[in-house]
């Protein structure tokens, strides 16, 4: 090798050698799992991979991780609160995924950042409402300004609710302007979602079925807007009939807010028709209720409700895993079967096992 070709020769020390290859980036300070501080910083900076890891921590059922997740949420909270939280429900097949895809893409075109979450306690069976439909959100899924997170699999509704609430806060801290929380029209999950969102949107099918299309009547009571989807092609007349039907149904119902009569709109998620009107209604709601103070009041009320729901969840988890309770459950269950214990006595016994000696 000629002397001048030697990149390490003293004469060349201040020159870049011809064979210079940029050094690999220095290894991250923390190898493996990032700590809570690092996660918080990353999320607040809008780093999507850090957001993903933060959510994984939030979803973990390991008690140590849950403690860290609580610390993380505390750090994120001051940076949260600025998004519009929108709950979306409707029976399977109504077009939730198609709607979220179209609506979300429109919002992104308008310069917004959109996160999509799901509350689906049935997900072990259905494979998760969002995950199962990821193909229907193909366009939204690839957007830089979109973040789609399927429902954590398994777990109680209470557990799923807690993690979704914390995930929502994390998405807000990461700078998302709109968070769409989807739920299937099953069980209590609609109420849970309406308790963590600012606005609850119910999608309906065309056709004026008296049976309210398998959606329980209670759902209409928590709807801030009803949208009849699939108002396209041959469906248009039936969509209008459905709209009239729901307008009448909502009219005789007690309004949740003195300042908001839930409207009924029509749209075609498939053809991307009617989305602007829906967004205009959402904006109208936010403006009106912010002016009266209800918007903030509702959020405060939701935080307090969340405390109670978390308490319930934690107490039940503790109770079910309490060693004395676990040890005695088979005997108590058997005594209940044979009639040696009544429901009240069995309840009392489980409670006193949980509370320990000296209490009743
Ligand atoms: N004609 C029509 N079909 C739609 C519309 N929105 C959704 N669909 C179709 O309805 C079916 C169910 O939609 P999907 O979004 O998966 O419903 P989800 O189960 O509520 O998420 C799919 O075949 C969609 O293509 C619409 O606006 N018009
Ligand atoms: Mg779907």
Q: Show me where the domains of the chain are located.
A: 34-78, 80-292, 308-355
Number of the ligand 1 atom closest to the C-alpha atom of 268: 27
Helix 63-76 to helix 48-59 angle (10° resolution) is 130
For 80-292, the fitting CATH number among 3.40.640.10, 1.10.540.10, 1.10.287.1040, 3.40.50.300 is 3.40.50.300
The stretch 29-46 carries a mean pLDDT of 85
pLDDT attached to residue 11: 44
The stretch 167-186 carries a mean pLDDT of 91
pLDDT band at 18 (very low <50, low <70, confident <90, very high): very low
Number of the ligand 1 atom closest to the C-alpha atom of 129: 21
**Cα 116 from Cα 151, distance rounded (Å):** 10
pLDDT band at 6 (very low <50, low <70, confident <90, very high): very low
Number of the ligand 1 atom closest to the C-alpha atom of 98: 15
pLDDT band at 332 (very low <50, low <70, confident <90, very high): very high
CB 40 within 8 A of CB 75: yes
The residue with tokens 């935080």 is 303
pLDDT attached to residue 112: 97
**Cα 320 from Cα 118, distance rounded (Å):** 26
pLDDT attached to residue 40: 97
The stretch 91-116 carries a mean pLDDT of 94
pLDDT attached to residue 211: 57
Q: What is the DSSP letter of 269?
A: T
pLDDT attached to residue 209: 64
Does 95 contact ligand 1 (Cβ within 6 A)?
Answer: yes
Report the separation in Å between the CA atom of 43 and the middle of ligand 2, taken as the mean of its atom positions: 27
DSSP helix/strand/coil, 4: helix
DSSP helix/strand/coil, 249: helix
The stretch 319-331 carries a mean pLDDT of 95
Does 104 contact ligand 1 (Cβ within 6 A)?
Answer: no
Does 328 contact ligand 1 (Cβ within 6 A)?
Answer: no
What contacts 326, CB < 8 A, 6 or more positions away? 320
109 pLDDT higher than 50: yes
pLDDT attached to residue 153: 67
pLDDT attached to residue 159: 77
Is there a shared CATH topology between the 34-78 domain and the 80-292 domain?
A: no
Query: Which range, 90-99, 124-133, 281-290, has the best average confidence (pLDDT)?
Result: 281-290
Does 270 contact ligand 1 (Cβ within 6 A)?
Answer: yes
**Cα 140 from Cα 149, distance rounded (Å):** 12
- Segment 41-86, tens digit of pLDDT: 999 999 999 999 999 999 988 889 989 999 999 999 999 999 999 9
CB 48 within 8 A of CB 145: no
Mean pLDDT score of the chain = 85
- 265 or 33, which is more confident: 265
**Cα 119 from Cα 223, distance rounded (Å):** 17
- What pTM does this model have? 0.83
pLDDT attached to residue 322: 95
What is the best residue among 95, 132, 204 to mutate for testing ligand 1's pocket, by most ligand atoms within 8 Å of CB? 95
For 34-78, the fitting CATH number among 1.10.1420.10, 3.30.110.70, 3.90.10.10, 1.20.5.170 is 1.20.5.170
pLDDT band at 128 (very low <50, low <70, confident <90, very high): very low
9 pLDDT higher than 50: no
pLDDT attached to residue 20: 47
- Segment 239-268, tens digit of pLDDT: 999 999 899 888 888 888 899 999 999 999
The stretch 287-315 carries a mean pLDDT of 92
- Segment 299-311, tens digit of pLDDT: 999 999 888 888 8
pLDDT attached to residue 280: 98
């Amino acid at each position: 090798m000629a002397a001048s070709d030697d990149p390490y020769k003293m004469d060349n020390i201040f020159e870049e050698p011809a064979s210079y290859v940029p050094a690999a980036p220095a290894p991250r300070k923390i190898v493996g799992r990032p700590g809570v501080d690092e996660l918080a910083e990353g999320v607040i900076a809008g780093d999507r991979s850090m957001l993903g890891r933060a959510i994984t921590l939030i979803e973990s059922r390991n008690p140590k991780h849950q403690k860290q997740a609580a610390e993380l949420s505390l750090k994120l909270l001051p940076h949260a609160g600025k998004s519009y939280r929108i709950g979306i429900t409707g029976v399977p097949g109504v077009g939730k995924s198609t709607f979220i895809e179209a609506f979300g893409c429109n919002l992104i075109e308008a310069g917004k950042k959109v996160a999509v979450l799901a509350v689906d306690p049935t997900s072990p069976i259905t494979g998760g409402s969002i995950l199962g439909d990821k193909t229907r959100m193909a366009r939204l899924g690839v957007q830089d300004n979109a973040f789609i997170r399927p429902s954590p699999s398994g777990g109680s509704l209470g557990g799923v609710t807690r993690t979704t609430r914390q995930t929502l806060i994390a998405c807000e801290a990461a700078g998302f302007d709109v968070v769409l929380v989807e739920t299937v029209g099953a069980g209590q999950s609609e109420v849970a979602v309406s308790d963590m969102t600012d606005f609850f949107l119910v999608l309906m099918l065309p056709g004026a079925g008296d049976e309210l299309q398998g959606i329980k009547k209670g759902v209409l009571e928590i709807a801030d807007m009803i949208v009849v989807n699939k108002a396209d092609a041959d469906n248009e007349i039936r969509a209008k009939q459905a709209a009239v039907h729901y307008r009448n149904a909502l009219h005789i119902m007690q309004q949740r807010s003195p300042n908001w009569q839930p409207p009924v709109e029509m749209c075609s998620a498939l053809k991307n028709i009617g989305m602007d009107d829906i967004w205009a209604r959402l904006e109208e709601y936010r403006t009106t209720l912010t002016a009266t103070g209800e918007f903030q009041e509702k959020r405060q009320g939701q935080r307090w409700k969340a405390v109670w729901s978390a308490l319930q969840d934690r107490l039940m988890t503790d109770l079910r895993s309490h060693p004395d309770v676990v040890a005695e459950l088979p005997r108590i269950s058997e005594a209940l079967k044979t009639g040696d214990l009544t429901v009240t006595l069995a309840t009392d016994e489980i409670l006193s096992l949980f509370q320990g000696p000296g209490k009743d």
